[in-house]
Amino acid sequence: MAHHDDDTHPGIDRRHALECMLWAGTGVLWTLSAGVPVSRLIGSAEAAESGFSFLQISDSHVGFDKAANPDARATLVAAIDKVNAMPVKPAFMIHTGDITHLSKPREFDDAAQAIGQARLDVHYVPGEHDIIDEDNGKAYLERYGKGTKGAGWYSFDQAGVHFIGLVNVVDLKAGGMGNLGDAQLAWLADDLRGKSASTPIVVFAHIPLWTVAEEWGWGTQDSARALALLARFGSVTVLNGHIHQLMQKVEGHVTFHTARSTAFPQPAPGTAPSPGPKVVPAGELRKLLGVTDVVYRAGQEKLAITDTALAG
Amino acid sequence: MTIDNIRGVRRRDVMMCLALGFAVVVAAPAKADTVIVKIDNFTFAPAVLTVKSGTTVKFENHDDIPHSVVDAAGKFRSKALDTDDSFSLTVAVAGEINYFCGLHPHMKGKIVVTP
C-alpha cells in the first residue's frame, strides 16, 4: 500500500477526488502515530504501526429503503463485518451522525444491534436525521446523551489525544447551514482552556465545519468561531459526515475530512440539481467500495490520498 | 385528440376534484380552498405563494429525504415529513409568512396572505 506524498502525486487531483466521491459504503480507520492522524478506508489489511487507531463510520441512515439503497441496514452490517475482519482491533469507533433515517425507535435499535457487533466503544454525535422524533432529539439523548452537555456535545481523552464531539444540527436558522450556537461555543472555549498547544485535537461533528457547498447548506454557520478557539493548537483534525462522499482540505494546522456514508452516495456539488440520494445502477453500489489511504505528516501541509477499489 | 384521451383527462380531473374535496374536509371543514406547495429536489414550489386569508396550504414532500416546514417567526413547526407525507396549514391573518426546512435550512419559501 503506497502512501503518495511526494510532488509527483499531488494529494487531491481532480481525478482522485472524483474517484473518492464515487465510492460508498464502509468506514474510515484513523491511526495516530506520534500525534499525527493517518486515515485509510477499512478493508486495508495494514495494521497500525504504532500509537493507536480508531474507526469512523457515518451516515448509516438505518430505515432508509429508497432506490439509492433499498436496505441501508444491510450495508451497515457489511461495514461492521469489514471492521471485524480488521487484523488490528481499533481502540474505539466514532459515528458522525445520521445513525437513523427518521429517528424511529426501531431504527435506533437496528443500528445499535448492527454496530454492537463490532464490540467496540462507540462515540456518537447526532445528525439531523437523529433528532426528528416528536420531541426534537429526546430519543437520541436518551440513548446517547449520557455524560454529554446541551444537545449532546462532549469531550474525552485517549492516550494524550483530546477528542471533541460537537453537535451542529440543532436550532438551525432560516437560510443558514449547520449551527453550533453560543452555549456550545462557550463550552468549547472552556474545554480547551489550559490545554497545551501541543495536544493533538480531533474534533468530530455531523455537518462539515468548513463550507463545502453553501447552496446545499454543506457547512456550519458559526464554525469560524470554533476554529478560532482551535487556532493555537499544532495538530487539529476535523472529521465530519453528512455529505456522503470523501472530501479533504488542509488549512494551516487544521485537516478537514468527510467520511463516506454506509448507506448511499450523494452527488458532488454542482453535478446535480439537489443533494438528494444518488441512485447508481443495481449492483454498482458495492463495486464502488474501495480502500483509501489518507496520510498526514507533521510539518507537511499536503495530504496524500491513495484510492483503490475493492471490486470491479 | 381521440375520445379516449378526452375521457382520460376527464377522469383525472374528477380524481383531482375528489382529492381536493377530501383535503378540504380534513384540513378545514369551512369552505376554504387548498393550495399545494410541492417539496421536490430540496426546494419548495412555488417558492413564493400568494393566497387569500382562510386558504389551506398543503405541503407535500416528494423527495427521498425527509423535510419539515418551520416558520421563521417561530409560530409553527411541522413534524418531519417522510416521502409522500404532507403538512397542512390554514392561513388566517393577512401578511407574509417566511418558512424554511428545519433539516435543510437553505430551503426557504414564503406565503403572502392577502385579505
Q: Do B100 and A175 touch (CB under 8 A)?
A: yes
| Predicted pLDDT of residue A288 | 53
Given a cut of 90, is residue B14 above it in pLDDT? no
Distance from CA of A64 to the nearest CA of B (A): 9
Per the CB < 8 Å rule, is B64 touching A68?
Answer: yes
- Chain A nearest-CA distance from B72, in A, is 6
State whether B66 and A68 contact (CB < 8 Å). Answer: no
The pLDDT of residue A51 is 62
3.40.50.150, 2.60.40.420, 2.40.30.10, 3.30.420.40: CATH of B34-114? 2.60.40.420
Judged by CB atoms closer than 8 Å, whether chains meet at A175 and B105 is answered as yes
Q: Which domains does chain A have, with CATH numbers?
A: 13-309 (3.60.21.10)
| Interface contacts (A, B; CB < 8 Å) | 58
Contact by Cβ (8 Å): A10, A4: no
Q: What is the structure's pLDDT at A200?
A: 87
Q: Could you count the other beta carbons within 10 Å of the beta carbon of residue A297?
A: 15
Q: Percent of chain B scored above 90 by pLDDT? A: 71
Would the pLDDT of B30 be above 50?
A: no
Q: Residue A126: its chain B contacts at CB < 8 A? A: none
CB contact under 8 A, B105 and A132: no
Looking at residue A2, its pLDDT comes to: 34
Q: Please give the average per-residue pLDDT across B46-50, as a whole number.
A: 98
Please give the model's pTM, rounded to 2 decimal places.
0.81
Q: Is A260 in CB contact (< 8 Å) with chain B?
A: no
| Rounded CA Rg of chain B | 16
Q: What is the mean pLDDT of each run of 10 residues along chain A (312 residues)?
A: 37 40 52 62 45 84 94 89 81 93 98 95 97 96 97 92 95 96 98 93 95 96 97 91 89 88 92 92 60 36 34 40
Contact A172 B108 (CB under 8 A): no
CA distances A183 to A117, A151, B25, B108, Å, are 35, 10, 45, 26
Task: For residue A127, give the chain B residue with the closest CA.
Answer: B103
User: A138 — contact with chain B (CB < 8 Å)?
Assistant: no
Find the distance separating the first CA and the last CA of chain B, reported in whole Å. 42
Distance CA A165, CA A153 (A): 5
Question: CA A284 from chain center: how many Å?
Answer: 23
Closest in B68, B79, B108 to A174, CB measured = B108
Give A7's Cβ-side CA count (13 Å radius). Answer: 0
CB-CB: which of B41, B99, B105 is closest to A273? B41
| Residue A76 C-alpha, separation from nearest chain B C-alpha, in angstroms | 18
**Angle at alpha carbon of residue A250, lines to A248 and A253, rounded to 5°:** 140
Q: Please report, as a single letter, which amino acid is at residue A225.
A: R
- Non-local (6+) Cβ contacts of A260 within 8 A are A23, A24, A25, A26, A28, A41, A58, A59, A244, A245, A246
b/e sequence B55-92, b meaning 16+ C-beta within 10 Å: bbbbbebebbbbbbbbbbeeeeebebbbeebbbbbebe
Of A133, A175, A125, the closest CA to residue A151 belongs to A125
Evaluate whether A33 touches A53 at the Cβ level (below 8 Å). no
Do the chains contact at B65 and A173, CB–CB below 8 Å?
Answer: no
Answer whether B102 sits within 8 Å of A66, measured CB to CB: no
Spatial distance between the Cα atoms of A171 and A183, rounded to a whole number of angstroms: 12
pLDDT given at position A36 = 58
Predicted pLDDT at A86: 78
d(CA B75, CA B69): 11
pLDDT of residue A50: 47
Average pLDDT for residues B20-39, to the nearest whole number? 61
Q: Tell me how crowded residue A181 is: count the other CB atoms within 10 A of its CB.
A: 19
Quick: pLDDT tens for B77-89: 999 999 999 999 9
Interface ipTM: 0.80
Mean residue pLDDT of chain A comes to 81
- At A239, give phi and psi (nearest 5°): -110, 125
pLDDT(B12) > 70: no
Chain B residues within 8 A (CB-CB) of chain A? 41-43, 63-66, 68, 70, 72, 79-80, 82-83, 98-100, 102-106, 108
**Grid cell at residue A118:** 463490532
Which residue reads 465510492 in cell numbers?
A23
Of A132, A177, A217, the CB nearest to B80: A132
Considering CB atoms only, which of A128, A173, A215 is closest to B103? A128
Q: Domain residue spans in chain B?
A: 1-28, 34-114
Integer Cα distance of A100 and B43 in angstroms:
23
Residue A305: the pLDDT is 32
Nearest chain A residue to B39 by CA distance is A274
